[in-house]
């Protein structure tokens, strides 16, 4: 199974927090169901298979009257994607990887989404999910048709996270060692791939991804520069590992889009890395 997202889809996606309040058409729900099926057969970076469920408004109106709380952050959604994962970092990376495939697939259908790692009432979403102390709901994702007019809350959340800007290349991407920046001009086929990492969503828009490209352009190593005392980590798992999964989704789906073969490998080069950074995964492409 392979997903290739057009760069247009990645670069135009924005978090949507105000939806039109209507259920999705049956065709859309069927399509989302089939995407969920395809995603279940993806190979994830660490080989784990987190659970992803869909709760749609129609079935909720009939069966489950309970409100699913988002502290007023989200309004008028047609449903939610809910994930359940072990708390281990590698499982969280895989959850981020799969959910971002859904986010981008929905964006391609004109359906809005918003990653929620913090501002949702976890107990509301438990339902009949198989939960125990080793499991968490790392994120839920509301979805629906965006409403033309947004609310004050949309602006507040965007402003708080600084959602309209992204870090420069020189802060994110490096060549061979962390003391040497990777310029766009010298990035070759990685230019477009890494640009799509840069534009991705991240928890509180911290953009913790750091990528170190090998001298011969063959291996890109992904690290996460962990935000010190990050509030998002108070839920019992490392929220920024979701961001790592998002980056790996963008890298691999862009390589698929460019028809470049690759492998995800554990090839930590064991370099001196900035304090607070952790190695996650490498992506090796075939030499052409
Ligand atoms: C893992 C993760 C968790 C997030 N959690 C929340 C959240 O709890 N509440 C919220 O309003 N936005 C949340 N966001 C959305 C980010 O604030 C948003 O993606 C970022 O500011 C960039 O804005 P954009 O998505 O519009 O490009 C989260 C995003 C990610 C990737």
The residue contributing the CA closest to ligand 1 atom 25 is 15
pTM above 0.95, yes or no: yes
SS (H, E, C) 73-86: CCECCCEEEEEEEE
**Interacting residues of 133 by C-beta distance below 8 A, sequence separation 6+:** none
Q: Which residues surround ligand 1 with Cβ inside 6 Å?
A: 14-15, 73, 114-119, 139, 157, 161, 163, 201-205, 239, 242-243, 246
**Cα distance between residue 85 and residue 138, in whole Å:** 7
Which atom from ligand 1 is nearest to the alpha carbon of 13?
Answer: 27
Task: Give me the chain's average pLDDT, please.
Answer: 95
Domain 164-285: homologous superfamily in CATH: putative nitroreductase (tm1586), domain 2 (3.40.109.30)
Please determine whether the domains at 7-157 and 164-285 fall in the same fold group of CATH.
yes
Report how far residue 37's alpha carbon sits from residue 244's, in angstroms, rounded to the nearest whole number: 23
- Give the position, in ligand 1's atom list, of the atom nearest the Cα of 202: 31
- CA gap 227, 234 in Å, rounded: 13
DSSP-assigned letter for residue 41: T
What DSSP state is assigned to residue 142?
E
Among 12-26, 76-90, 120-134, where is mean pLDDT lowest? 120-134
Which is the closest atom of ligand 1 to the Cα of 161? Answer: 21
State residue 210's pLDDT score.
98
Given this structure, which CATH class describes domain 7-157?
A: alpha beta
Domain segments of the chain as ranges? 7-157, 164-285
CB 19 within 8 A of CB 75: yes
> Measured in angstroms, how far is the CA atom of residue 218 from the centroid of ligand 1?
31
User: Residue 130: its pLDDT value, please?
Assistant: 84
Asked if residue 59 has pLDDT above 90, the reply is no
């Amino acid at each position: 199974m392979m997903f290739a997202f057009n760069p247009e889809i990645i670069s135009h996606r924005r978090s949507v927090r105000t939806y039109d309040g209507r259920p999705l058409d049956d065709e859309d729900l069927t399509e989302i169901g089939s995407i969920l099926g395809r995603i279940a057969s993806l190979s994830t970076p660490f080989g784990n298979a987190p659970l992803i469920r869909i709760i749609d408004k129609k079935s909720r109106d009939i069966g489950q009257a309970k409100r699913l709380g988002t502290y007023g952050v989200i309004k008028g959604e047609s449903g939610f994607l809910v994930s359940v994962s072990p708390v281990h970092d590698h499982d969280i990376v895989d959850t981020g990887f799969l959910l971002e495939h859904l986010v981008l697939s929905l964006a391609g259908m004109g359906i809005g989404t918003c990653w929620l790692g913090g501002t949702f009432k976890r107990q509301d979403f438990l339902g009949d999910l198989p939960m125990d102390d080793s499991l968490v709901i790392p994120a839920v994702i509301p979805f629906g048709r965006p409403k033309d007019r947004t609310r004050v809350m949309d602006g507040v959340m965007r402003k708080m996270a600084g959602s309209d800007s992204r870090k420069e290349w020189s802060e994110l991407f490096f060549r061979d060692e962390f003391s040497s920046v990777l310029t766009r001009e010298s990035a070759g086929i990685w230019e477009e791939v890494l640009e799509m990492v840069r534009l991705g969503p991240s928890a509180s828009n911290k953009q913790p991804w750091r990528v170190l490209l090998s001298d011969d352009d063959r291996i890109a190593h992904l690290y996460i520069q962990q935000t010190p005392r990050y509030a998002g980590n108070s839920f019992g798992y490392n929220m920024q590992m979701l961001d790592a999964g998002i980056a790996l989704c963008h890298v691999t789906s862009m390589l698929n889009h460019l028809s470049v073969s690759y492998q995800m490998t554990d090839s930590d080069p064991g370099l001196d890395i900035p304090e607070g950074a952790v190695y996650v995964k490498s992506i090796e492409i075939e030499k052409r």
